[in-house]
Amino acid sequence: MKTIGVFDSGFGGLTVLRELIRLIPDARYVYLGDTARLPYGSKSRETIARYAISSAKFLVDRGADLLVIACNTATALAIDDIRAALPIPVIGVVEPGTQAALDAAKASSRGIEETHVVVLATAATTQSQAYSRSLSAAGLLSTEKACPLLVPLVEEGWLEQPAQKAVTLEVLRVYLLEGLEKAPNANVLLLGCTHYPLLKPLIETTLKTLHHPMQIIDSAAATAQAVAEALPWPIVPVEGLQPELLFYATDSIEKFQRLGSSFLNQPLAQVRLVDLGG
Amino acid sequence: MKTIGVFDSGFGGLTVLRELIRLIPDARYVYLGDTARLPYGSKSRETIARYAISSAKFLVDRGADLLVIACNTATALAIDDIRAALPIPVIGVVEPGTQAALDAAKASSRGIEETHVVVLATAATTQSQAYSRSLSAAGLLSTEKACPLLVPLVEEGWLEQPAQKAVTLEVLRVYLLEGLEKAPNANVLLLGCTHYPLLKPLIETTLKTLHHPMQIIDSAAATAQAVAEALPWPIVPVEGLQPELLFYATDSIEKFQRLGSSFLNQPLAQVRLVDLGG
């Protein structure tokens, strides 16, 4: 059985793992959350590349045959460095998100030329402009909107209890209005952060309230799809197969286990602590 | 002229510096924000102590005669280690906050025994239980309430524009209701995070809406007061004197300068980058 390594600075990448398990159940998965050194967002490109490469090499040492960079910041700033440093195929989250947006544009009545993509992401990701460069190269018009409050709202779990959910809906309304102000004709919404799939139902509600229908592209699901398509070995569908899951974190095992289960949509049986240095 | 070193993991400690400048204008201030290694909250006690000591030694090397730890996490987890490692007096934020709460209790009609303090702080600070231990040692009953969304709301500047301010008020309402549910008779509210002084007007509004009057203790102002009282040299009040201010950050100079000015309530003339290692 082949091993797929999945790397993120935290546990957001578990939304990618959730989709991977669904599409490719006959694999062994080793997930590393570099929680001791997060957030990557405030660090320089050199530092992020150094952290990401040491994390990626750890996953190669654990037997990874393919590596998924389930982290927008690491993909945006260091995927070329990671690819150069590793002997195995590496797939990031930006290209699959762009590809999914392009597919949506082609399938829409507007077509590629009339499609405008709004990208919701963290400040670090929007500052890197990785999505606008990638979308522009694909011929798509785009507007990036930084949404720094969404990760803390998801990590706090303010998604269900009425008063908390009302706050999250209001924050989404403010961000979406600000984003749509710059792009009034936008028809595609790209979720450019691995935390955001948990917000998808609330984003759908908000778009309905704003009477602004958009096609939502989930970069986590798009990345899993891209991995399934690029897999250098055949997928063997086995009824009822439970893939082998191994989790490593560089700090905060307890928080990783507690919050991670809502990202993965199943309990994290065991999380091991690993020290990758300063 | 004497030098006061002020240290925080980020720029929150600038609210302490703002109060220090007001109380002790005849000093030279050297401020270090260890922005490259923040947030300290998710790190282990050993790591935080190591970071804080290297930061503190940097300030001693820059001539500090007295050190203020304007960081709740570093104070809560490492003040004893820092004091042991340094040849100069060290003042943290927890003891002055406790002292101010005690003074408020003594002055109130309730007295010490009937006073109940609610402490608002980050998850890292509440987990350390530094405030409840310190308040309990002073004979005060307390309840700590973790408020992880407040720092991102302050850093996003969601304090004035109506739709954004409405969100912040609603978040404060949820947190205060949750805190007061555990402590229905609480009469003192301690702001146990150096970001929170910027929220004070909105907290006052929220308490009015909840019809629950409380005395608000600002640990930043309390710390500056404690420094002024403990100063091992005399304060010379000079009309119109502008203290000398030097700022160092370990990363993100631009963000430090942009956000820092609202914490300090004046522009940060020059911020220098310093590398303290991984």
Write the pLDDT tens digit of every residue in B70-120.
999 899 989 999 999 999 999 999 999 999 999 999 999 999 999 999 999
pLDDT of A235 reads 85
| Alpha-carbon gap, residue A26 to A34, rounded angstroms | 25
Structure-token pair, residue B146: 């973790």
- pLDDT band, residue B174 (cuts 50/70/90): very high
Write the pLDDT tens digit of every residue in A172-221.
999 999 999 999 999 999 999 999 999 999 999 999 999 999 999 999 99
Write the pLDDT tens digit of every residue in B113-157.
999 999 999 888 898 899 999 999 999 999 999 999 999 999 889
Q: Which residues of A touch B146 (CB under 8 A)?
A: none
pLDDT of B44 reads 75
Q: Which residue has the higher pLDDT, A155 or A39?
A: A155
Say whether A170 and B166 touch across the interface (CB within 8 A).
Answer: yes
Whether residue B222 contacts residue B200, with contact meaning beta carbons closer than 8 Å, is answered with: no
Residue with tokens 């020059």: B270
- pLDDT band, residue A42 (cuts 50/70/90): low
| Alpha-carbon gap, residue A85 to A79, rounded angstroms | 10
pLDDT of A258 reads 86
Chain A with chain B: Cβ pairs closer than 8 A? 60
If residue A117 lies in a helix (H) or strand (E), which one and from where to where? strand A116-121
Whether residue B188 contacts residue B103, with contact meaning beta carbons closer than 8 Å, is answered with: no
* Beta partners for residue A91, in sequence order: A68
The overall pTM is greater than 0.80: yes
Nearest to A217 by CA among A206, A225, A205: A225
Say whether A43 and B251 touch across the interface (CB within 8 A).
Answer: yes
Average of per-residue pLDDT across B47-60: 93
Annotated catalytic residue within B71, B105, B153, B169: B71
**Would residue B147 show up in a list of annotated catalytic residues for this protein?**
no
Closest alpha carbon within chain B to A254: B42
Say whether B47 and A38 touch across the interface (CB within 8 A).
Answer: no
Average of per-residue pLDDT across B254-259: 85
| Alpha-carbon gap, residue A36 to A275, rounded angstroms | 9
Annotated catalytic residue within A67, A105, A150, A193: A193
Q: In sequence order, what are the residues at sequence separation of 6 or more whose Cβ sits closer than 8 angstroms to the Cβ of residue B103?
A: none
Judge whether residue B273 has pLDDT over 80: yes
Which residue in B48, B174, B175 has the most chain A C-beta atoms within 10 A of its own C-beta, making it the best mutation to test that interface?
B174
Annotated catalytic residue within B193, B199, B224, B253: B193
Say whether A43 and B153 touch across the interface (CB within 8 A).
Answer: no
Whether residue B271 contacts residue B253, with contact meaning beta carbons closer than 8 Å, is answered with: yes
- pLDDT band, residue B202 (cuts 50/70/90): very high
| Alpha-carbon gap, residue A186 to A197, rounded angstroms | 20
DSSP state string for A31-71: EEE-TTS--GGGS-HHHHHHHHHHHHHHHHHTT-SEEEE--
| Alpha-carbon gap, residue B80 to B84, rounded angstroms | 6
pLDDT of B46 reads 83
- pLDDT band, residue B278 (cuts 50/70/90): low
| Alpha-carbon gap, residue A247 to A11, rounded angstroms | 10
Judge whether residue B277 has pLDDT over 80: no
Q: How many angstroms separate the Cα of B177 from the Cα of each of A35, A259, B183?
A: 31, 24, 10
Query: Under an 8 Å CB criterion, which residues of A touch B?
Result: 35-36, 38-39, 42-44, 47, 148-149, 152-153, 155-156, 158, 163-164, 166-167, 170-171, 173-174, 177, 251-252, 255, 277-278
Annotated catalytic residue within A64, A71, A93, A117: A71
Q: Which residues of B touch A43 (CB under 8 A)?
A: 36, 251
Q: Which residues of A touch B170 (CB under 8 A)?
A: 163, 166-167, 170
| Alpha-carbon gap, residue B192 to B150, rounded angstroms | 12
Task: Name the residue among B36, B167, B252 with its Cβ closest to that of A174.
Answer: B167
**Would residue A71 show up in a list of annotated catalytic residues for this protein?**
yes
Query: To the nearest whole number, what is the mean pLDDT of chain A?
Result: 92
- Nearest 5°: the CA angle A188, A207, A103 is 20
Q: Which residues of A touch B251 (CB under 8 A)?
A: 42-44
* Beta partners for residue A190, in sequence order: A119, A217
- Nearest 5°: the CA angle A100, A182, A108 is 30
| Alpha-carbon gap, residue B34 to B52, rounded angstroms | 9
Q: Where are the alpha helices (DSSP H) in A62-199?
A: 72-85, 94-107, 111-114, 123-128, 130-137, 150-156, 162-182
